[in-house]
């Protein structure tokens, strides 16, 4: 039997040379007439070790990384196929501390299986949740998801079960499930990883959502910046259709559900659910005023569930293992696990899935290993471009929706971007306004105009033009945007701006003044 | 006019694209993606054809095309570099790399070089935040960029 060698096809691994490495290994194996097969798996999420090569041995999978094509000769000579020792050896994959410390529920299969092998998917527990769901009345599925405590992982944290219940109870001959795969926040890549590494779990979650709410059609709205994910999801949908996971009779049951992948066109605001629906309908991605809620009038004016990729991908395990199993992880009202994405200037960047409740400091210093540059950590931005910058003094904040809100921050899509002490926080605040100006849909005035005025105000602060007055203006502007904007783009831009100012006031003093102070 | 046959070709290709996707629920973005795939940009003369096919006004179609960053009014260069400018890449020196690349190429954001060799675009997150700074070149992803990689990139797209 041939040896199985795994090299991720994940775009994070490909970006650092996984394709070239796989091609070279294939050539080498042929040249040496070795009986081995290369499988392009998803990533385990240990990005500083990518491209990470794994070999299946009798005692388990053994990892090596990061591997360059030029390392292959020596690796093969040392006995790569037997999992032999080598300077690049990381030992048994499952024993690598970054991985061993995790609780992988949503990402249980990611990096382990061949993403497009339905056999692998089933063998690793896939479809168990859907198999249970097809035999249950919709109300019971909704109840189970509600009891699990699952909240929207896209950022808003709204209880998933309540959203589903609203759609289930809404009148409508046609209902929809829309999967929000417009992950545009810097520092986040969990959606991309799961779509590339375990696409069937997203599909399974969507089918369960359909059965639970009476929706028979689903759409994944996937951003164009993720071409690899688009390819994998499209292929996975075809395979699911060929195997009756999608179609008129889901797993041979009376339930019908089918879905399509739709590609966005490069607009950050389309991650907001109503702008996403407008875009999906073929219009400008302009935010809708709520109410009506999408659950009542969503896609084409019909009852629609809009859920994030990770929310939907978390449903199969809940339907498999039960609401209690899932709810028993976490703290307070933040139940289950959260795939935290540790990124930016960090030594051990990657995906770390664990129960809610770890502190921010634990994630950055302990798990992330501090900065990649080796300098002190100055600030971390949690929750994407609309998330607050936290200083080291707030590193005791536990990962929990309410705990972050209590400190004027947000978990968002659980992305953490680390900055070292060379970061200029005035520049970061300026960028937040600038980004809002570039991406504003233009519907409401505070966001459309406030963002541009915000850039000007910060430039004035930087240039020392009436700084006190400008700071008052900035605070007032942020207040107007926070309470006057229709959606989170304008409404949350004040978080990065004001947190940068509150926690790093020195960076907001004009250059002449800070020099004078020294 | 020289352009006429080209317009006729655009019209017939666009008609075929519209016919293929018309039955979708909310087909416009899909159609625009296909038109851009076919011509490398969304030509002005495709707009009335799409408008007529979907029973929309030309202004509505133009409004959609102009809203999204992806759609181009003119063809891009032979190589397209999309350099990530978002926070994770900034934290790893992305801004300095951007300055360097712009200097080497002699281009500002959204510009195409006079010889048509290369277009430089900003992009806000490629999901490669743990391998920052990152870029996408002609659809291929690149991570852990440094000054040398950027210089090499500038040389390659210029050759």
Final residue before a domain boundary, out of A420, A451, A483? A420
| Same domain, residue pair A304 and A341 | no
The alpha carbon of residue B24 is apart from the nearest alpha carbon of chain A, in Å, by 10
3-class DSSP state for residue A258? strand
> Shortest CB distance from A12 goes to which of B26, B28, B143?
B143
The residue-averaged pLDDT of B56-83 equals 96
- CB contacts, 8 Å: B91 with chain A: 344-345, 417-420, 423
Task: Tell me whether residue B89 is annotated as binding.
Answer: yes
What is the separation, in whole angstroms, between the first and last Cα of chain A? Answer: 70
- CB contacts, 8 Å: B63 with chain A: 284
Asked if B48 reaches chain A (Cβ–Cβ under 8 Å), the answer is no
- Total domain count, chain A: 4
- Locus of tokens 């302990």: A366
Among chain A residues, the shortest Cα distance to B149 is held by A16
pLDDT at position A514 is 53
Q: Is A5 within 8 Å of A57 (Cβ atoms)?
A: no
Asked if B27 reaches chain A (Cβ–Cβ under 8 Å), the answer is yes
- CB contacts, 8 Å: B72 with chain A: none
- CB contacts, 8 Å: B60 with chain A: 283
In a domain, A119, yes or no: no
In a domain, A200, yes or no: yes
Interface contact B67-A381, CB threshold 8 A? no
| Same domain, residue pair A152 and A134 | yes
Following DSSP, what letter does each residue of A450-517 receive, concatenated? HHHHHHHHHHHHHHTSSHHHHHHHHHHHHHHHHHH-SSHHHHHTHHHHHHHHHH-GGGGS-HHHHHHH
ipTM over 0.90: yes
How far, in Å, CA of A477 to CA of A451, rounded? 9
pLDDT value at B140 more than 90: yes
Helical H runs in A83-159? 97-100, 118-123, 128-134, 138-148
| Same domain, residue pair A310 and A241 | yes
In a domain, A107, yes or no: no
Specify burial of residue B110 (Cβ count, 10 A radius: 0-12, 13-18, 19+). exposed
Interface contact B25-A281, CB threshold 8 A? yes
Q: Is B105 within 8 Å of A432 (Cβ atoms)?
A: no
Q: What is the DSSP letter of A293?
A: P
Nearest residue to A268 (alpha-carbon basis) of A45, A442, A401, A411: A442
| Same domain, residue pair A89 and A156 | no
Tokens of A6: 């795994």
Element holding A91 (H helix, E strand): strand A89-92
How far, in Å, CA of B150 to CA of B97, rounded? 7
| Same domain, residue pair A400 and A430 | no
Residues of the domain holding A388: 330-420
Asked if B127 reaches chain A (Cβ–Cβ under 8 Å), the answer is yes
| Same domain, residue pair A63 and A75 | yes
| Same domain, residue pair A78 and A183 | no
| Same domain, residue pair A318 and A342 | no
pLDDT in tens, chain A (518 residues): 799 999 999 999 999 999 999 999 999 999 999 999 999 999 999 999 999 999 999 999 999 999 999 999 999 999 999 999 999 999 999 999 999 999 999 999 999 999 999 999 999 999 999 999 999 999 999 999 999 999 999 988 999 999 999 999 999 999 999 999 999 999 999 999 999 999 999 999 999 999 999 999 999 999 999 999 999 999 999 999 999 999 999 999 999 999 999 999 999 999 999 999 999 999 999 999 999 999 999 999 999 999 999 999 999 999 999 999 999 999 999 999 999 999 999 999 999 999 999 999 999 999 999 999 999 999 999 999 999 999 999 999 999 999 999 999 999 999 999 999 999 999 999 999 999 999 999 999 999 999 999 999 999 999 999 999 999 999 999 999 999 999 999 999 999 999 999 999 999 986 655 555 44
- CB contacts, 8 Å: A420 with chain B: 91
| Same domain, residue pair A274 and A149 | yes
3-class DSSP state for residue A39? strand
Cα–Cα distances in angstroms (integers) from residue A190 to residues A212, A447, A511, in the given order:
25, 28, 39
Among chain B residues, the shortest Cα distance to A342 is held by B130
In a domain, A113, yes or no: no
**A336 conformational bin, left if phi > 0, alpha if psi -120 to 50, beta if neither:** left
In a domain, A355, yes or no: yes
- The CATH number given to whatever domain includes residue A14 is 3.40.30.10
| Same domain, residue pair A152 and A174 | yes
The alpha carbon of residue B2 is apart from the nearest alpha carbon of chain A, in Å, by 32
Residues in chain A, how many? 518
3-class DSSP state for residue A25? helix
Interface contact A12-B125, CB threshold 8 A? no
- The CATH number given to whatever domain includes residue A149 is 3.40.50.11540
Give, in words, the CATH class of B79-157: alpha beta
- CB contacts, 8 Å: A425 with chain B: none
Please list, in sequence order, all residues whose beta carbon lies within 8 angstroms of the beta carbon of residue A388, skipping any fewer than 6 positions away.
Answer: A381, A382, A407, A408, A409, A410, A495, A496, A498, A499
| Same domain, residue pair A480 and A416 | no
How far, in Å, CA of A475 to CA of A454, rounded? 10
In a domain, A115, yes or no: no
Asked if A10 reaches chain B (Cβ–Cβ under 8 Å), the answer is no
Please list, in sequence order, all residues whose beta carbon lies within 8 angstroms of the beta carbon of residue A13, skipping any fewer than 6 positions away.
Answer: A7, A43, A47, A50, A51, A52
pLDDT at position A155 is 86
> Shortest CB distance from B130 goes to which of A279, A280, A350?
A350
Q: Is A226 within 8 Å of A186 (Cβ atoms)?
A: no
Query: Residue B2 — pLDDT band, cuts 50, 70, 90?
Result: very low
Please list, in sequence order, all residues whose beta carbon lies within 8 angstroms of the beta carbon of residue A153, skipping any fewer than 6 positions away.
Answer: A308, A309, A310, A311, A314, A338, A339, A413, A414
Query: Residue B7 — pLDDT band, cuts 50, 70, 90?
Result: confident
Final residue before a domain boundary, out of A327, A358, A389? A327
Phi and psi at residue A125, to the nearest 5°: 90, 0
- Locus of tokens 């989170």: A488
Asked if A433 reaches chain B (Cβ–Cβ under 8 Å), the answer is no
How far, in Å, CA of A328 to CA of A105, rounded? 12
| Same domain, residue pair A132 and A209 | yes
In whole angstroms, what separates CA B56 from the centre of its chain? 24
Q: What is the DSSP letter of A289?
A: P
Tokens of A32: 């040496």
Tokens of A21: 């490495």
How far, in Å, CA of A417 to CA of A343, rounded? 5
How far, in Å, CA of A253 to CA of A251, rounded? 6
Going by their DSSP bridges, the two strands A176-181 and A217-222 should be labelled as parallel
In a domain, A111, yes or no: no
Task: Tell me whether residue B131 is annotated as binding.
Answer: no
- CB contacts, 8 Å: B24 with chain A: 260
Domain boundaries, chain B: 3-67, 79-157
The residue-averaged pLDDT of B32-55 equals 97
In a domain, A242, yes or no: yes
Count Cβ–Cβ pairs < 8 Å, chain A vs chain B: 153
């Amino acid at each position: 039997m041939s040896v199985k060698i795994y090299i991720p096809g994940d775009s994070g691994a490909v970006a650092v040379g996984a394709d070239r490495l796989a091609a070279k290994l294939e050539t080498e194996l042929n040249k040496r007439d070795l009986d081995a097969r290369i499988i392009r798996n998803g990533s385990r999420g240990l990005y500083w070790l990518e491209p990470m090569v794994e070999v299946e041995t009798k005692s388990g999978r053994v990892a090596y990384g990061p591997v360059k094509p030029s390392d292959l000769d020596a690796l093969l000579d040392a006995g790569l196929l037997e999992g032999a020792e080598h300077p690049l050896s990381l030992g048994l994959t499952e024993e690598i501390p970054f991985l061993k410390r995790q609780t992988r529920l949503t990402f249980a299969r990611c990096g382990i299986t061949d993403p497009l092998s339905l056999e692998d998917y089933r063998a690793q527990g896939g479809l168990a949740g859907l198999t249970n769901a097809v035999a249950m009345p919709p109300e019971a599925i909704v109840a189970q998801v509600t009891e699990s405590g699952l909240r929207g992982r896209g950022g808003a944290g709204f209880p998933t079960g309540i959203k589903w219940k609203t759609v289930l109870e809404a009148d409508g001959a046609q209902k929809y499930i829309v999967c929000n795969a417009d992950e545009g926040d810097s520092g986040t890549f969990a959606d991309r990883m799961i779509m590339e590494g375990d696409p069937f779990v997203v599909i399974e979650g969507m089918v369960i959502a359909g059965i639970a709410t009476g929706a028979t059609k689903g759409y994944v709205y996937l951003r164009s910046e993720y071409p690899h994910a688009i390819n994998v999801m499209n292929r996975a949908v075809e395979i699911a259709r060929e195997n009756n996971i999608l179609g008129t009779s889901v797993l041979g049951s009376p339930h019908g559900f089918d879905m399509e992948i739709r590609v966005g066109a490069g607009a950050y605001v389309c991650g907001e659910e109503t702008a996403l629906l407008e875009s999906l309908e073929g219009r400008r991605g302009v935010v809708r005023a709520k109410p009506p809620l999408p659950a009542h009038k969503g896609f084409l004016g019909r009852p629609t569930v809009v859920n994030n990729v990770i929310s939907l991908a978390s449903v199969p395990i809940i339907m498999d293992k039960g609401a209690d199993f899932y709810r028993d992880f976490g703290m307070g009202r933040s139940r289950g696990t959260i795939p935290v994405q540790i990124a930016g200037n960090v030594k051990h960047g990657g995906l770390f899935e664990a129960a809610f409740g770890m502190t921010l400091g634990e994630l950055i210093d302990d798990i992330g290993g501090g900065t990649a540059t080796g300098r002190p950590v100055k600030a971390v931005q949690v929750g994407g471009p609309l998330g607050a910058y936290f200083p080291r003094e707030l590193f005791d904040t536990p990962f929990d929706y309410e705990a972050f809100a209590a400190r004027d921050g947000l978990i968002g899509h659980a992305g953490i971007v680390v900055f070292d002490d060379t970061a200029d926080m005035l520049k970061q605040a300026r960028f937040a306004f600038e980004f809002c100006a570039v991406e504003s849909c233009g519907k409401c005035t505070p966001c459309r105009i406030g963002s541009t005025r915000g850039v000007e105000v910060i430039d004035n602060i930087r240039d020392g033009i009436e700084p006190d007055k400008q700071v008052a203006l900035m605070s007032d502007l942020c207040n107007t945007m926070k309470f006057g904007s229709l959606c989170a783009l304008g409404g949350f831009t004040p978080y990065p701006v004001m947190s940068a100012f509150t926690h790093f006031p020195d960076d907001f003093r004009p250059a002449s003044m800070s020099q004078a102070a020294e | 006019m020289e352009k006429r046959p080209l317009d006729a070709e655009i019209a017939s290709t666009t008609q075929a694209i519209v016919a293929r996707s018309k039955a979708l629920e909310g087909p416009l973005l899909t159609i625009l993606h296909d038109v851009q795939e076919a011509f490398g940009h969304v030509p002005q003369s495709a707009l009335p054809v799409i408008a007529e096919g979907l029973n929309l006004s030309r202004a509505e179609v133009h409004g959609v095309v102009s809203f999204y960053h992806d759609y181009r009014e003119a063809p891009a260069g032979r190589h397209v570099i999309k350099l990530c400018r978002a926070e994770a890449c900034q934290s790893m020196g992305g801004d300095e790399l951007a300055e360097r690349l712009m200097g080497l190429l002699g281009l500002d954001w959204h510009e195409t070089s006079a010889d048509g060799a290369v277009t430089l675009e900003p992009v806000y997150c490629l999901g490669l935040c743990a391998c920052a700074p990152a870029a996408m070149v002609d659809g291929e992803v690149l991570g852990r960029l440094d000054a040398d990689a950027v210089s090499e990139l500038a040389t390659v797209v210029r050759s």
